Structure 1
Amino acid sequence: MDKIGTDRFKTALLLFAVAGLIAGLGVYAAGQQHLATLAWTAGVTPVLATLVVEILRSLRRGEVGLDIVAALSMTAALAFGETLAAAVVAVMFSGGTFLESFAEGRARREMHSLLARVPRTATRHRKGGFEEVPLDAIEPGDRLLIRQGDVVPVDGNLVSASAFLDRSAISGESLPLHISRGAEALSGSTNAGDAFNLVATQRAAQSTYAGIVRLVEEAQRSKAPMSRLADRWSLGFLAVTVAIACAAWWLTGDPIRAVAVLVVATPCPLILAVPVALVAGLSRAAHFGVLIKGAGPFETMARIRTLILDKTGTLTDGRPQIVAIESRDNMSQDEILRLAAALDQASKHPVAQALVTAAKARGLMLPIPSEVAEVPGEGVIGLVEGRRVSVGGIGFVTHHSEAGSGGHPALAAGSVLVALAVDGRMAGHLVMSDPLRAGTGAMLDSLRRGGISRILLATGDRIEVAERITKGLGLDGLRAGLTPDQKVLLVLTERKNGPVMMVGDGVNDAPALAAADVGVAMGARGAAASAEAADVVLLVDRIDRIGPALDIARASRRIAIESVVAGIGLSVLGMIAAAFGYLSPVQGALLQEVIDVAVILNALRALRITPQDPATSAVDTKDRTAS
């Protein structure tokens, strides 16, 4: 039975139990005690039968849960004619499982969207023309046309003069890569320049992107399922319950006292308190733009001790930004940016689009360029307000500048230099980089104060770029140049230090997100694959939401445990009272209902959790809308 079918079945059980209890009370009030007994029995029977089946399945897996106590109480109540008590217990139990199922309702979806990113067909050269063929039909040696904006469908070698590839989703590199004839183009990369030709070297099923899909699926299968928090107390509570019930029966010879003990012992404080507290916490986390896919990952978040961060798009913004503008001809910085951005409006190059965005952010008016000619991956030439402008790489612009380059600023690792020439003269340079997100240092310090003992960076980018970006952050480790399977290995290795949380945004992060105890995806601008593989999705493009999410998880777990301890303590007192004959089975069931209400009200305090760090707990109006 699938997840939807299971949820519907649990809902039907709850409705059936409630209907049986209400119908029985109705006919009992009319003086029809026999019919009332039948109605209560009818309401209990499907719940008890389902419970017995689940217990048998659990025992075959070597698991012992608190469901046994509920089954014993309903069975004993029916056996000794206490059908009303049995009906009350059935409603309590089915209601608890329904709430638990609701808590798991945000479970992860299938990985179909990971495959959806790759086109279903490719354009293949055939007899002087082109044909659209399914990916499975591509053979090594086939010549493919990769148009601008297309995702490379299979691994291959470039046969055109050059190409410009955005490999951030595969390798984690923050800036697009210019490759020349003969270089390898990995599947999953996006063509950020003009169309080019590729000769396939692998079939689709053996290519890089398909390998990442397999890694995600294997990592998800290997992750051990979360046991319910309630079951951790099951054996001890079960032993205490059986001991008190047997002692009451043996010492008094009255089996009804044993029934009353079992009814009071029905572990609804455990069954109800945990899912209610966790569902409330899940709702509270969503208020901060954090979507957590179920109560299992949420409960695990409270125990996280190691945090592994991707770099591009996670620790950094993932989009090139201007870090410096240098004038070479007494031209103002704004004028340099205005002319460069005006011409770059005609280009789809990521760096060009970043310049356009930066110019608009400064409120600069951008005229429409004319007579534009672009050399893919190198630069653009055209007319802006009647002036001949060239913008692009230093070599390209120098070639179109009468006075040459005149020198240029030194570049840090991971930076890109954009040159500008106007009317044949070098006008200036713009230095582009992918900087850290604002407040990253303060966020990491806050996470350490909250209980995170190890923070590491795992990136596919070059080591010198990673070291420059993270200088001064005080990380416990830095791993650069990692492939997707190496990121998975790092996650598995770090598990010896405790539960691991992995945060990433690209397709290359998806296997590690799936392998981690808790995977967190930057869902606002990240790849769909990472969002599908992750247990947690940040719906707003702010990594600092991790802090509030962890605070809420810890507080929700604490509230759940408080509710469990208080509820079980009251239940034990009720069991003792029932053993001494002070409570009948029905009175015991009603007392348990009062305990349940108190436990639920306490668990709902999770809806009012406020993250401890004021720097990360503030939510502005824009982000509230987004979440």
Structure 2
Amino acid sequence: MNAATHTPAVKSPATVPTQPNRMREFFGSRDGVIATATLVAIALFLILRFAVGLEGFAASWPLVVIVIGGGIPLGIDVVKSAIATRGGADTLAAVSIIASVLLGEWLVAAIVVLMLSGGEALEEAASKRASATLDALARRAPQIAHRRNPDGTTADIAIEEVRIGDELVVLPHELCPVDGEVISGHGAMDESFLTGEPYVVSKSEGSQVISGAINADDALVIRATALAEDSRYASIVGVLREAETNRPEMRRLADRLGAWYTVLALTMGAIGWIISGDPTRFLAVVVIATPCPLLIGVPVAIIGAINLAARRGIIIKNPGILEAVSRVDTVMFDKTGTLTYGRPVITHFQTTGGLDEDYALALAAAVERYSRHPLATAIVEEADARGVDKLTVDSISEKPGQGLTGVVDGLEVKLTSRKALADSSFLPQDQAGMESVMLLDGEFAAFIQFRDEPRRSAADFIAHLGKKHGTTETMIISGDRASEAEYLAEKVGIKTVHAGVSPEGKLELVREHNKRGKTLFLGDGINDAPAMATATVGVAFGAGSDVTMEAADAVVLDSSLERLDNLIHIGARMRRIALQTAIGGMALSFIGMVLAVFGLLTPLMGAIAQEVIDVLAILNAARVPFTKKKLSDF
């Protein structure tokens, strides 16, 4: 959490993305080209057959060309899919095309090619719609950097050419190109796009800066501490890009349903052929049985859920969790920033050696204004509330694990932990809460204690999980001391507490409970990443850690328990509508198969009927993101 002034966010002209062209996405894909060419071939056949009056191959050659030219690449994809899924949902489509060709039903074969290629193209285009946030991030990414040469001049270089140690000039209102450290200048940067916090963070010599942040009105000189591909912005883009490569669990369910459905359809087709002696009965059955509700409907439902979640500030990194999130048995919470606000307040401020408390607080606040640590906010807010003087910082340095050091009013001010003291025996022991030690010119000067209070809605939310979502157990798994974790558990109504747990310990606890049922782990720190990655559903609160975001299946950007409830309801809605689409579509197809077995449905009629079923399936699945319901009952 940033210690920041409430300055309005700086707007950059580079942050307004253009909307992707959905039609171009459809027609620009391979499957889109095949679908378009198939439509043209069918139209040309109809003209040659009915307008010109040609018959036989003279009229059907466009269909032959498109079935062979388009059917071969589609057939290869079907074979690969069948091998990967042990006979997936699209196997029947391939059987339909082959049977149509063998029986000379080129128009039927072309219509099936149109169904298969059109469905794949629609799914691909819809997937690109789901990645609109990723597209916007990619377009917004820094492209150039101003490298300062030894002679003091600057040269524009591509972002990929930046090397660690390079001195870069960040001009007013520009995006910071890479992660780095300020070596010259005083100013501020808007990190809200990256952190979700709508404030501008002060920057001075020694301050850390992150790529993608928007500089304010003053130029800063930074030293690159990471390459572009390793910087914060690239990490966020990578996390979102990974979401597109995860195959959803519901699609695997569709493949399993499709495997059984394929056996049923082929069996009924064979029966129709046997009882009639007419192979066109077999073709009619497999054509009407082509399981496009599975091929198209389920992915459309998943994509709709991803969009619905995104509108509520939830990034779905692994779509597979949408099927499981509404059916978890155990919910595990890290303590700080999840059930609490992650905004500690000062409960005790003790100085030594006659040091004036307000002056000591002013010194601490001056340094902490440059920190992103949660305790920094508490110190700054306390200083502002007391109205103490705002002192100027001459230099600042923050090294991982060593605390924050700055020069203020001619004094070296260091905020760190009790571990930095050679002798800490005189400090209060075994106190609940968090603490910080202030040193002036290397000598102990003040001891500060904090407490992070529970969210107002935390107790109601814990009770709500069991009553409305069937959760059987909730627990706190925290690295904090037992006294602090137990204090929180009592406040929110949780009986199971694991305190002082290391990241490895959290991982083992998750593995243990995974054996008993589905688990959800909610955290916001790097030490939560292993447990989060192992749980059935891992949810990260906020975007404060790249490692945490990578480990999580979903990221709740605004750190709200109501948003977590939204995610559970979105998952339940997606699963319900996806199953409606799949089972309903197959039921309608089954009715058509029965009619085809008894010769009441020709192959061409079956192909047309299947198109109608496809439209109904798509329309039903597409309603996932469109709801007037609040999507939260807590």
TM-score (norm 2): 0.64
Report if the CA contact (8 A) 1:28-1:35 is conserved. Answer: no
What SS does structure 1 have at the residue aligned with 2:623?
helix
| Residue 122 of structure 2 corresponds to residue 96 of structure 1 | no
Report if the CA contact (8 A) 2:366-2:390 is conserved. Answer: no
Residue of structure 2 equivalent to 1:595: 613
Report if the CA contact (8 A) 1:104-1:293 is conserved. Answer: no
Deviation at 1:237, TM superposition (A): 1.6
Residue from 65, 70, 75 that aligns with 2:88: 65
| Residue 346 of structure 2 corresponds to residue 322 of structure 1 | yes
| Residue 67 of structure 2 corresponds to residue 44 of structure 1 | yes
Structure 1 residues 104, 314: closer, same or farther in 2, change over 3 A? farther
| Residue 441 of structure 2 corresponds to residue 441 of structure 1 | no
Deviation at 1:575, TM superposition (A): 1.4
Residue of structure 1 equivalent to 2:194: none
Deviation at 1:355, TM superposition (A): 4.1
Residue from 12, 29, 49 that aligns with 1:11: 29
Partner Cα distance (1:519, 1:378) in 2 = 32
Deviation at 1:596, TM superposition (A): 1.4
Partner Cα distance (2:625, 2:428) in 1 = 54
1:31-180 correspondence to structure 2 within 5 Å: 31=52, 34=57, 37-45=60-68, 48-57=71-80, 60=83, 63-101=86-124
Partner Cα distance (1:274, 1:64) in 2 = 17
Partner Cα distance (2:397, 2:553) in 1 = 43
Partner Cα distance (2:122, 2:490) in 1 = 47
Partner Cα distance (1:134, 1:372) in 2 = 22
Residue of structure 1 equivalent to 2:276: 252
Structure 1 residues 451, 40: closer, same or farther in 2, change over 3 A? farther
Partner Cα distance (1:57, 1:514) in 2 = 29
Deviation at 1:517, TM superposition (A): 2.4
| Residue 315 of structure 2 corresponds to residue 291 of structure 1 | yes
Residue of structure 1 equivalent to 2:302: 278
* 1:358-379 residue CA offsets vs partner (Å, 9 max, x unmatched): 1476494744369999998699
1:169-208 correspondence to structure 2 within 5 Å: none
Residue of structure 1 equivalent to 2:185: none
Deviation at 1:326, TM superposition (A): 9.6
Deviation at 1:604, TM superposition (A): 2.1
| Residue 535 of structure 2 corresponds to residue 512 of structure 1 | no
Deviation at 1:485, TM superposition (A): 3.0
Partner Cα distance (2:248, 2:623) in 1 = 27
Partner Cα distance (1:503, 1:102) in 2 = 32
| Residue 250 of structure 2 corresponds to residue 232 of structure 1 | no
Partner Cα distance (1:465, 1:344) in 2 = 25
Partner Cα distance (1:496, 1:300) in 2 = 15
Report if the CA contact (8 A) 2:346-2:379 is conserved. Answer: no
Partner Cα distance (1:462, 1:500) in 2 = 24
Residue of structure 1 equivalent to 2:570: 552
Deviation at 1:12, TM superposition (A): 0.4
Deviation at 1:49, TM superposition (A): 3.3
Partner Cα distance (1:510, 1:466) in 2 = 19
Q: Which moved more, 1:280-289 or 1:13-22?
A: 13-22
Residue of structure 2 equivalent to 1:177: none
Structure 1 residues 416, 91: closer, same or farther in 2, change over 3 A? same
Structure 1 residues 487, 556: closer, same or farther in 2, change over 3 A? same
Partner Cα distance (2:104, 2:520) in 1 = 52
* 1:293-312 residue CA offsets vs partner (Å, 9 max, x unmatched): 25323223233322222223
Aligned-pair Cα RMSD in Å = 4.7
| Residue 267 of structure 2 corresponds to residue 243 of structure 1 | yes
Structure 1 residues 42, 243: closer, same or farther in 2, change over 3 A? same
What SS does structure 2 have at the residue aligned with 1:519?
strand
Residue of structure 2 equivalent to 1:605: 623
What SS does structure 1 have at the residue aligned with 2:476?
strand
| Residue 53 of structure 2 corresponds to residue 29 of structure 1 | no
Residue of structure 2 equivalent to 1:344: 365
Percent identity over the alignment is: 32
Residue of structure 1 equivalent to 2:473: 454
Residue of structure 2 equivalent to 1:189: none
Deviation at 1:461, TM superposition (A): 2.5
Report if the CA contact (8 A) 1:457-1:478 is conserved. Answer: yes
Report if the CA contact (8 A) 1:18-1:43 is conserved. Answer: no
Deviation at 1:52, TM superposition (A): 4.1
Partner Cα distance (1:503, 1:370) in 2 = 37
* 1:270-325 residue CA offsets vs partner (Å, 9 max, x unmatched): 22221111211111111111111253232232333222222233333334323467
What SS does structure 2 have at the residue aligned with 1:455?
strand
Report if the CA contact (8 A) 1:37-1:83 is conserved. Answer: yes
Q: Give the length in aligned residue pairs.
A: 484
Q: Structure 2 counterpart of 1:544, which letter?
A: E
Partner Cα distance (2:555, 2:472) in 1 = 23
What SS does structure 1 have at the residue aligned with 2:622?
helix
Residue of structure 1 equivalent to 2:511: 492
Unmatched segments (≥5 aa) in structure 1: 1-6, 110-132, 136-148, 151-215, 329-334, 396-406, 616-627
1:206-221 correspondence to structure 2 within 5 Å: none
Structure 1 residues 592, 316: closer, same or farther in 2, change over 3 A? same
Partner Cα distance (1:371, 1:538) in 2 = 37
Unmatched segments (≥5 aa) in structure 2: 1-24, 135-162, 166-179, 182-238, 419-425
* 1:502-535 residue CA offsets vs partner (Å, 9 max, x unmatched): 22222222222222222212233x2111112222
Partner Cα distance (1:435, 1:381) in 2 = 32
Report if the CA contact (8 A) 2:435-2:447 is conserved. Answer: no
Partner Cα distance (1:41, 1:337) in 2 = 87
Report if the CA contact (8 A) 1:10-1:98 is conserved. Answer: no
Q: Structure 1 counterpart of 2:469, which letter?
A: G
Residue of structure 2 equivalent to 1:161: none
What SS does structure 2 have at the residue aligned with 1:482?
coil
Residue of structure 1 equivalent to 2:150: none
Residue from 567, 573, 591 that aligns with 1:573: 591
